[in-house]
Amino acid sequence: MEKEQEVIHLHHGSGGEHMTKLLNEVIFKILKNDILEVRHDGAFLNVQGNLAFSTDSYVISPVFFKGGNIGELAVNGTVNDLSMCGAVPKYLSLALIIEEGFSLEEFTEIIKSIKQAADKANVQIVTGDTKVVERGKGDKIYINTSGIGIVHEKANIKIRNIKENDAVIINGPIASHGMAIMSEREGLEFESDILSDTTNLNDIVFDLIEQFGEKIHFLRDATRGGLASVLHEITTEINFGISLFEENIKVENQVKSACELLGLDPLYVANEGVFVCIAAPEIKNEVLKILQKTNPKASEIGFVSGEHPSKIIIESAFGGKRVVNPLVGEQLPRIC
């Protein structure tokens, strides 16, 4: 007789014996570290320097996708948010909201992915919370992560630092994460799998700041709303526009095909491993050399322009130009 699959029950969030067992046999066992092992209502941290603090919640559907799952996404997302502040991520909190009936095996796999992502990014999970909601009141699992990082002494990442003629650089091809999720939802098959680009960016950002300091004027990861939305956030806050070169914005062939099939523009599709770096023009070649060590397709995609304030103009390979408009509505819901 086939063994009945173990699942999460309401009593796993009750604060009693079953919850203690879940914590001890899964969460504490996998995420074990000295700070978490104190098992207090909060974490005791010894930190010095200016701190960056960030929080984010993850409600992605499906929770498992090609290239990752909600667990590593939650770690990488908060690690990257701290990195975009010019900080070295150190500590994360982890809050789990689990739907009754969610597979215990899948839950354990997610916690293992959280541990692996945290180790890769050299951060510690130091405190957290676990809740279970009734069947039908959630969607398998939601995760919140908050993080603390120490701001690099050479960092000065502020939108007001952006200057005319600054270089606009990205660290790799766009739209892979969003199309990995959408191809999974729509059951699309391609010659090669579309994989999410979810990864931690803290190491490469640290290298940029360590070498170039305040000449790195601004950083932002291009998650929800994609590259276009990040650039619009920037241009609405400064007295400049941005000029883009379409042929320099790389999109993997299978990602481009999926976008065309679904009628989506890659510029507006979410990423989880792509960031925008706005840097002084005199260092752009050196910045690209560093980024291309990790991804040869990192590229300078444009520059900050004084000719069309608050507008993003993109030039095609044939010389035609068009305005990149802001995203209206939710193109890809539940993408992170």
| Total-model pTM | 0.95
How much is the pLDDT for 283? 98
In single-letter form, the type of residue at position 126 comes to: V
- pLDDT for residue 193 is more than 90: no
| 139 DSSP 8-state letter | S
Which tokens belong to 174?
């766009």
Give the whole-angstrom CA distance, residue 175 versus residue 89.
Answer: 25
Q: Are strands 275-279 and 216-221 parallel, antiparallel or unpaired?
A: antiparallel
Distance of CA 233 to the CA centre of its chain: 17
How much is the pLDDT for 8? 95
Residue 148 pLDDT class (50, 70, 90 cuts): very high
What's the N-to-C CA distance of the chain in angstroms? 39
Percent of the chain with pLDDT over 70: 98
User: 36: helix, coil or strand?
Assistant: helix
Task: Quickly list DSSP for 91-127.
Answer: EEEEEEEEETT-BHHHHHHHHHHHHHHHHHHT-EEEE
How much is the pLDDT for 2? 39
Residue 1 pLDDT class (50, 70, 90 cuts): very low
Residue 191 pLDDT class (50, 70, 90 cuts): low
- pLDDT for residue 129 is more than 60: yes
How confident is the model over 166-176, as a mean pLDDT?
98
H/E stretch holding 177 reads helix 176-186
15 within 8 A of 126, measured Cβ to Cβ: no
- pLDDT for residue 79 is more than 70: yes
**How many alpha carbons lie under 13 Å from residue 61 in its C-beta half-sphere?**
8
53 within 8 A of 101, measured Cβ to Cβ: no
- pLDDT for residue 233 is more than 70: yes
Most confident of 2-6, 44-48, 326-330: 44-48
- pLDDT for residue 63 is more than 70: yes
Q: pLDDT tens across 238-253, in order?
A: 999 999 999 999 999 9
How confident is the model over 22-36, as a mean pLDDT?
95
Give the whole-angstrom CA distance, residue 23 versus residue 287.
Answer: 44
Which residues does residue 132 pair with via DSSP β-bridges, in sequence order?
98
If we measure between CA atoms, which residue out of 255, 251, 235, 246 comes closest to residue 309? 235
Which tokens belong to 122?
């050299």
Give the whole-angstrom CA distance, residue 202 versus residue 101.
Answer: 36
Give the whole-angstrom CA distance, residue 186 versus residue 70.
Answer: 19
Mean pLDDT of the chain: 94
Give CB contacts under 8 A, 24+ apart, made by 67-70.
67/176, 67/177, 67/180, 67/195, 67/196, 67/197, 67/198, 68/113, 68/196, 68/198, 68/272, 69/109, 69/110, 69/113, 70/110, 70/141, 70/143
Give the whole-angstrom CA distance, residue 318 versus residue 237.
Answer: 31
How much is the pLDDT for 188? 72
H/E stretch holding 321 reads strand 321-323
